[in-house]
């Protein structure tokens, strides 16, 4: 499909990303890389839903949280091995998406926005109030790291980076495969005109639900990475604001652009770091940036990159 | 012989407006039929009822004898119904060939999971051959890999036709196929449609362009104010006083 | 579950109606902009918060509360109109999806700007009746909640008169019903959309002005008020201004009862759960007409 790279390019980018922990001066910077990669996975999934299918989902962080709490609670409270928590994380997040997505996506209009918003609000209450499971507002403590017994503990930054690297790489690979397939074509048709897609024999609701659940599964896996890297989870990480910031990252990176999640996640990860003690300005900046990007450059940073490449090529020729 | 498409007592109300009132129509297999009428006659609503985009308030829609009133739009495509759109609905950021592929997809099994696990790429060469054959038929083969957004209006109409044919329909619904086309292109469209019908596909078209309809249709239903005012061969309807009064008398330049 | 005595129930109902009136006003704002653009305006709740915060700031600075309130109302309307003129109107492809996204940007921006300029602490000001409490059949009802109900009713009445009687109101209804047809008969559609933003902002501002004396307000509350308003509008049937008000009253009452009868800890969750259940069973809302899908 137009605008999709050869898979080799994806491989090249991810091989280059492997250098980060070896270049980074300390663990803190390595862990920033982990945060970036987790965000990449989250934004890739949301980009499929929002960017490619045109559906406003306001609970992506909730799916992230369901994954994190599923594996975190099983490991911290019931002694499960972190590796065994991955299927649980993916399953719980997907289940949430099925429950919300099936009724909401069969309807047109703003039902998904409303339903995801309601789901986000309900689950925020649950994360806060089911104290005996989640630890409530104080957070879930005592979550084990990935591998505790491997000669020396691999819950060091390098091991964590590798897990997150695999996660983000896999998400992008899945997205690439999907977009290059006929589902990718179908998604374009749906975004352009649901009526036309239906008239071509596409069961639009089914495709939208499938993508929504897939994105939630990706977010659930991201929660699994997050909770075992940080060995902690607390409700505000998975709230409405985070969902909105993820949506903002999709738009800033490039709405429906394959490479968009990389710059989008970079901005999302780095802005609080760059702001430092001026972190109060974060919302102001993200809000302003979202409006400006939508007004001035709807293709986002990924489109800007593509335009620059084109100009460079022309200049050389 | 059963009709391929049969409408009985089809009605549609929008709020207080009776858009379609008690329409009956029977299209035998292989026929090239047309619905005409002045603006606001309810043609497009009737068309959308047949295609499944609008649910009728009352009446039966039968395809090959089976009632399809409750079959959703996408399900009707699988039953052998294909349509084009009055205002172009080709996907601009896909290539011309990919737009035709969208039509081919209609009859292939599979879903998101199947696409993820692969297997879709195996048939690529065969699909490509089919796509090029369809594009060749409408004269767009040379533009196969251009972005569809770059096509001229008339070319877009041809692409819609190729895309609809891709699903190998039994009944092809054409929503104003010649609207907005200059005279020469409209003529070319007319001969394409006639060719499609001659090859055995049943065609129902909704048109504004009287000359086109009169030259190709075998059976014509004339609507005005949501009702049927006449039906028959081109000769019969063009002599019908009600038609002349409601349609030709006021709007003979269409 | 506490025993159901009549006085307590009355108090819960009254409290619920008061909150519900606020949700209704906010929902009215959602409905107005939805009718004009087809989009969900996520900045609506931030406008409520802005009105309360700005009035509180004026009050703290020593201005008369009434004056500060009036100035805040104008400020919020100006912000609403500016949001349209500076952002929404300039979109190249003004699809409902894009307008909704822009409104999310405006919402976070507004929230961030208020946090940075007016601070993070909850503030407030006394209402015209102070802390007076009415005792009705054993229930203690804050006098301010009567003002809330009166303001809500007054605003809706004024809006209805405006829609029904004034030329501009008629033009606005025409533009909402069918943009193209309205443009053909000479209605300045863009101006009508701008007016819808102004009216929606005014509805939000009135809600903010009357609720703040009851609950105090901080920069973070706009979001939740916005959710509730959106819920009210969906519950009543999106695009039906009066439906939104009814939806708000119902939602507020349900929420109050849920908090009383089930658990105050889970009351938010219960309210949203009920809301989703209603919407999935009756997608067009409680008061919306079932209408055919637009083609």
CB contact under 8 A, C269 and A285: no
- How many structural domains does chain C have? 1
Rounded (10°) CA dihedral A90, A95, A101, A104: -150
Residues C118 and A310 sit within 8 Å (Cβ to Cβ): no
Burial of B2 (0-12, 13-18, 19+ CB in 10 A): exposed
CB distance from C295 to chain B under 8 Å? Answer: yes
Q: Which chains touch A (3 or more CB pairs under 8 A)?
A: B, C
Find chain C residues with C-beta within 8 A of B53's C-beta.
293, 295
pLDDT at position B109: 66
**Any domain includes A17:** yes
Residue C34's contacts (CB-CB under 8 Å, 6 or more residues apart) are: A110, C40, C41, C233, C238, C239
CB distance from C157 to chain A under 8 Å? Answer: no
Phi, then psi, of B10 in degrees rounded to 5:
-75, 130
pLDDT at position A39: 97
**Any domain includes B252:** no
CB distance from C184 to chain B under 8 Å? Answer: no
**Any domain includes A1:** no
- How many structural domains does chain A have? 1
Window 220-249 of C, Cβ < 8 Å to A: 223, 227, 230-231, 234, 238
Per-residue pLDDT band for B250 (boundaries 50, 70, 90) equals low
Give the separation between CA A118 and CA A123, rounded to whole angstroms: 9
**Any domain includes B240:** no
Q: Which of B91, B161, B169 to mutate to test the interface with A (most CBs of A within 10 A)?
A: B91
pLDDT at position C79: 95
Residues B251 and B38 sit within 8 Å (Cβ to Cβ): yes
Average pLDDT rounded to a whole number, residues B229-241? 86
DSSP for A225-272, written as a single string: HHHHHHS-B-GGGGSHHHHHHHHHHHHHHHTT-TTTHHHHHHHHHHHH
Per-residue pLDDT tens over the stretch A99-139: 999 988 887 778 888 899 999 999 999 999 999 999 889 99
Give the separation between CA A191 and CA A208, rounded to whole angstroms: 10
Whole-Å CA distances, A250 to A268, C75, C207:
10, 32, 33
For C216, the token pair is 């105090």
Of A3, A178, A182, nearest to B105 by CB-CB distance is A182
**Any domain includes C18:** yes
Number of A–C residue contacts, CB under 8 Å: 120
Number of residues that make up chain A:
317
Average pLDDT rounded to a whole number, residues B190-201? 90
Whole-Å CA distances, A206 to A45, B91, B219, B220, C241:
17, 20, 38, 38, 33
Classify residue A136 by its DSSP letter: G
Give the separation between CA A162 and CA A170, rounded to whole angstroms: 12
Nearest CA in chain B to A186: B102
Nearest to C55 by CA among C45, C65, C43, C40: C65
CB contact under 8 A, A121 and C268: yes
**Any domain includes A273:** no
Position C262 pLDDT exceeds 90: no
Average pLDDT rounded to a whole number, residues C141-161? 91
List strands edge to edge, sheet with B17-27: B17-27, B5-14, B58-63, B66-67
Q: Which residues of B142-177 are buried (b: 16+ CB within 10 A; e: fewer)?
A: ebbeebbeebeebbbbbbbbbbbbbbebbbbbbbbb
CATH for C92 = 1.10.3470
CB distance from B85 to chain A under 8 Å? Answer: yes
CB distance from C119 to chain A under 8 Å? Answer: no
Residues A223 and A62 sit within 8 Å (Cβ to Cβ): no
Average pLDDT rounded to a whole number, residues B98-115? 78
Domain that holds residue B146: 92-168
Give the separation between CA C255 and CA C264, rounded to whole angstroms: 9
Give the separation between CA C260 and CA A200, rounded to whole angstroms: 52
Of A177, A189, A211, nearest to B91 by CB-CB distance is A189
For A303, the token pair is 């489109």
**Any domain includes C293:** no
Q: CA B169, B172, B175 angle in degrees (round to 5)? A: 145
Per-residue pLDDT band for B249 (boundaries 50, 70, 90) equals low
For A312, the token pair is 């460079």
CB distance from C180 to chain A under 8 Å? Answer: no
Phi, then psi, of B100 in degrees rounded to 5:
-70, -35
Find chain B residues with C-beta within 8 A of A186's C-beta.
102, 105
- How many structural domains does chain B have? 1
Q: Which chains touch B (3 or more CB pairs under 8 A)?
A: A, C
Kindly report the average pLDDT of chain B as a whole number: 84
Give the separation between CA C212 and CA A145, rounded to whole angstroms: 46
pLDDT at position C278: 81
Residues C65 and C59 sit within 8 Å (Cβ to Cβ): yes
> Regarding beta strands B227-232 and B5-14, do their DSSP bridges make them parallel or antiparallel, or are they unpaired?
unpaired
Kindly report the average pLDDT of chain A as a whole number: 89
Domain that holds residue A233: 7-239
pLDDT at position A68: 96
Q: Is the CA virtual torsion A280, A164, A239, A301 positive or negative?
A: positive
CB contact under 8 A, C92 and A54: no
Find chain B residues with C-beta within 8 A of C293's C-beta.
53-54
pLDDT at position B252: 44
CB contact under 8 A, A285 and C115: no
**Any domain includes C1:** no
Q: Which residues of A277-289 are buried (b: 16+ CB within 10 A; e: fewer)?
A: eeeebbbbbbbbb
Per-residue pLDDT tens over the stretch A236-256: 999 999 999 999 999 999 888
CB distance from A303 to chain C under 8 Å? Answer: no
Nearest CA in chain B to C290: B15
Average pLDDT rounded to a whole number, residues A278-289? 89
Find chain C residues with C-beta within 8 A of B43's C-beta.
none
CB distance from B58 to chain C under 8 Å? Answer: no
CA distance A235 to chain C (A): 15
Domain that holds residue C163: 6-281
Per-residue pLDDT tens over the stretch A251-280: 999 888 999 999 999 999 999 888 888 888
CB contact under 8 A, C108 and A290: yes
Of C107, C115, C266, nearest to A125 by CB-CB distance is C266
CA distance A170 to chain B (A): 12
Of B101, B116, B167, nearest to A201 by CB-CB distance is B167
**Any domain includes B68:** no
Give the separation between CA C157 and CA C248, rounded to whole angstroms: 16
Of A185-194, A218-227, C142-151, where does mean pLDDT reach its minimum? Answer: A185-194
Residue A39's contacts (CB-CB under 8 Å, 6 or more residues apart) are: A246, A249, A264, A265, A268, A269
Q: What is the largest CA-CA distance in chain B?
A: 63
Give the separation between CA A73 and CA A79, rounded to whole angstroms: 9
Nearest to A88 by CA among A211, A219, A220, A212: A220
Q: Is C108 helix (H, G, I), strand (E, B) or coil?
A: helix
Classify residue B147 by its DSSP letter: B
Q: Which of B105, B124, B173 to mutate to test the interface with A (most CBs of A within 10 A)?
A: B105
CB distance from B88 to chain A under 8 Å? Answer: no
Q: CA C115, C120, C125 angle in degrees (round to 5)? A: 105
Classify residue A18 by its DSSP letter: T
Classify residue C91 by its DSSP letter: -
Beta bridge partners of B147: B95
């Amino acid at each position: 499909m137009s605008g999709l790279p050869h898979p080799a390019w994806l491989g090249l980018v991810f091989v280059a990303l492997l250098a980060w922990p070896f270049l980074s001066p300390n663990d803190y910077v390595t862990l920033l890389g982990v945060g970036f990669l987790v965000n990449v996975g989250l934004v890739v999934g949301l980009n499929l839903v929002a960017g490619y299918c045109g559906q406003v989902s306001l609970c992506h962080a909730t799916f992230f949280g369901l994954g994190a709490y599923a594996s975190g609670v099983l490991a911290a409270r019931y002694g499960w091995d972190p590796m065994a928590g991955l299927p649980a994380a993916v399953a719980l997040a997907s289940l949430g998406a099925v429950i919300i997505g099936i009724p909401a996506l069969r309807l047109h209009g703003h039902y998904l926005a409303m339903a995801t918003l309601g789901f986000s609000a309900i689950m925020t209450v649950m994360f806060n109030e089911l104290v005996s499971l989640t630890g409530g507002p104080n957070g879930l403590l005592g979550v084990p790291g990935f591998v505790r017994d491997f000669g020396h503990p691999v819950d060091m930054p390098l091991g964590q980076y590798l897990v997150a690297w695999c996660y983000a790489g896999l998400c992008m690979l899945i997205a690439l495969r999907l977009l290059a397939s006929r589902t990718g074509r179908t998604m374009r048709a749906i975004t352009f005109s649901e009526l036309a897609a239906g008239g071509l024999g596409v069961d639009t609701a089914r495709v939208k639900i499938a993508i929504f659940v897939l994105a939630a599964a990706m977010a659930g896996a991201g929660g699994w990475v997050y909770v075992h890297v940080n060995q902690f989870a607390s409700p505000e990480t998975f709230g409405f604001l985070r969902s909105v910031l993820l949506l903002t990252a999709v738009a800033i990176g490039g709405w429906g652009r394959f490479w968009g999640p990389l710059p989008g996640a970079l901005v999302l990860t780095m802005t609080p770091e760059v702001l430092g003690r001026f972190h109060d300005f974060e919302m102001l900046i993200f809000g302003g940036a979202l409006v400006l990007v939508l007004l001035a450059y709807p293709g986002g940073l990924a489109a800007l990159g593509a335009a620059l490449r084109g100009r460079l090529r022309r200049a050389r020729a | 012989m059963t009709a391929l498409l049969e409408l009985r007592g089809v009605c549609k109300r929008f709020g207080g407006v009776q858009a379609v009132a008690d329409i009956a129509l029977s299209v035998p297999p292989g026929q090239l039929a047309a619905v005409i009428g002045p603006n606001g006659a309810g043609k497009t609503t009737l068309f959308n009822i047949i295609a499944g985009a609008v649910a009728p308030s009352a009446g039966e829609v039968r395809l090959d004898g089976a009632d399809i009133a409750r079959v959703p739009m996408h399900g009707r495509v699988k039953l052998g119904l294909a349509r084009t759109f009055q205002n172009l609905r080709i996907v601009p950021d896909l290539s011309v060939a990919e737009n035709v592929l969208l039509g081919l997809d209609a009859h292939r099994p599979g879903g998101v999971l199947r696409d993820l696990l692969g297997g879709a790429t195996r048939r690529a060469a065969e699909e490509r051959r089919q796509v090029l054959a369809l594009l060749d038929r409408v004269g767009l083969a040379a533009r196969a890999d251009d972005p569809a957004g770059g096509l001229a209006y008339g070319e877009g109409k041809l692409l819609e036709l190729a895309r609809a044919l891709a699903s190998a329909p039994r009944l092809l619904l054409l929503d104003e196929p010649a609207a907005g086309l200059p005279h020469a292109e409209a003529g070319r469209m007319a001969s394409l449609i006639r060719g499609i019908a001659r090859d055995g596909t049943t065609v129902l078209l909704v048109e504004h362009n009287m000359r086109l309809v009169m030259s190709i249709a075998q059976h014509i239903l004339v609507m005005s104010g949501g009702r049927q005012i006449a039906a028959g061969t081109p000769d019969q309807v063009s002599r019908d006083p009600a038609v002349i009064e409601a349609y030709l008398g006021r709007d003979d330049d269409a | 579950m506490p025993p159901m005595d009549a006085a307590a129930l009355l108090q819960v109902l009254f409290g619920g109606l008061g909150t519900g009136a606020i949700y209704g006003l906010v929902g009215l704002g959602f409905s107005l902009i939805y009718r004009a653009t087809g989009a969900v305006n996520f900045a609506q709740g931030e406008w409520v918060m802005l009105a309360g915060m700005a009035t509180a700031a004026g009050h703290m600075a020593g201005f008369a509360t009434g004056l500060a309130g009036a100035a805040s109302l104008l400020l919020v309307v100006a912000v609403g109109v500016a949001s349209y003129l500076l952002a929404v109107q300039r979109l190249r492809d003004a699809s409902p999806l894009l307008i909704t996204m822009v409104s999310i940007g405006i919402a976070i921006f507004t929230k961030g700007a208020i946090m940075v300029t007016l601070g993070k602490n909850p503030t407030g000001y006394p209402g015209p009746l102070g802390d007076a409490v009415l005792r009705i059949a054993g229930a203690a009802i804050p006098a301010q909640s009567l003002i809330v109900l009166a303001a809500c009713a007054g605003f809706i009445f004024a809006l209805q008169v405006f829609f029904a009687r004034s030329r501009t109101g008629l033009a606005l209804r025409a533009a909402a019903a069918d943009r193209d047809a309205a443009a053909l008969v000479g209605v300045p559609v863009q101006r009508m959309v701008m007016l819808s933003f102004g009216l929606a902002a005014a509805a939000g501002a009135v809600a903010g002005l009357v609720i703040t004396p009851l609950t105090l307000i901080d920069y973070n509350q706009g979001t939740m008020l916005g959710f509730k308003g959106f819920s009210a509008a969906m519950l009543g049937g999106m695009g039906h201004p009066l439906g939104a008000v009814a939806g708000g009253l119902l939602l507020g009452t349900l929420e109050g009862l849920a908090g009383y009868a089930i658990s105050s800890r889970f009351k938010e969750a219960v309210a949203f759960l009920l809301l989703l259940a209603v919407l999935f069973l009756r997608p067009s809302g409680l008061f919306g007409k079932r209408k055919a899908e637009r083609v």
